[in-house]
Amino acid sequence: MRKIAVFISGEGSNAAKMLRNFSERDGIEVALVYSSKPNKNLKALCEQLGVVFHYSLWNETEKINLLDLCIKLSIDWVVLAGFLKLIPESFLAHFPNKIINIHPALLPKFGGKGMYGMHVHIAVIQAEEVESGITIHYVNGAYDEGQIIRQFRVSISDNETSETLSTKVRVLEHKYFSDTVAELVISAKN
Ligand code: GRF
């Protein structure tokens, strides 16, 4: 059984998808959800599914506590699902090539510090791109720069707005992210 920790900073809709998807699969489970903000809905869903939900600040002491918790729960992989903080070296060293992120655009364009949420979709529309999508990638010490695992694309229509694009990209995330993570993690050698 591969044990996953999901880290979030926002609403957690992708984390919720993953919790439900993995609860019906063999070989993979979400064993921990960490949120850098209080999140009543995710906490309730975790309680319902028997998954540990942990909220704390993201400071030096709490980062150490979180890594300790991951070790205590025998976490194998970490999935960032709308997590806005930079992952420290201690986590990268403990989970080499086992931390995955989702980004709501086609990297390497429209990534980096400050490129999150609606900022990404506004930048894509302003650049008059003809397509956008999602990028699922490994995490390294820089924002949005780790090796790309998979991308899924959506076309941009002439009258597209950042809001309509955001909705289209969200549909892609909910459709593909959890299955892509499950396939990758289950097929990995360790
Ligand atoms: C998603 O758009 C994801 O691509 C980005 O943050 C958002 C998280 O949404 N990294 P949610 O918290 O899963 O609803």
Q: What is the mean pLDDT of residues 133-150?
A: 93
pLDDT of residue 13: 97
Mean pLDDT for the stretch of residues 153-164: 97
Segment 28-43, tens digit of pLDDT: 999 999 999 999 999 9
Residue 60 pLDDT greater than 90, yes or no? yes
* 66 secondary structure, DSSP code: H
pLDDT band at 144 (very low <50, low <70, confident <90, very high): confident
Distance CA 43, CA 58 (A): 18
- Cβ–Cβ < 8 Å for 18, 178: yes
Region 160-167: mean pLDDT is 97
Ligand 1 pocket, residue 104 CB under 6 Å: yes
Query: Domain residues of the chain, as ranges?
Result: 2-187
Taking only the tens place, the pLDDT of each residue in 64-114 is 999 999 999 999 999 999 998 999 999 999 999 999 999 999 999 999 988
* C-alpha to C-alpha distance for 24 and 98, rounded to whole angstroms: 22
- Select from 3.10.180.10, 3.40.50.170, 3.40.50.10470, 3.90.380.10 the CATH code of 2-187: 3.40.50.170
Active site residues: 103
Q: What is the DSSP string of 90-125?
A: HHHHHSTT-EEEEESS-TTTT-STT--THHHHHHHH
What are the pLDDT digits (tens) for 4-37?
Answer: 999 999 999 999 999 999 999 999 999 999 999 9
92 CA distance to ligand 1 middle (Å):
21
Residue whose Cα lies nearest atom 10 of ligand 1: it is 82
Nearest Cα neighbor of 104 from 162, 186, 21 is 162
Choose one of 101, 151, 173, 177 to mutate for the ligand 1 pocket test, by most ligand atoms within 8 angstroms of C-beta: 173
Question: What is the pTM (predicted TM-score) of this model?
Answer: 0.95
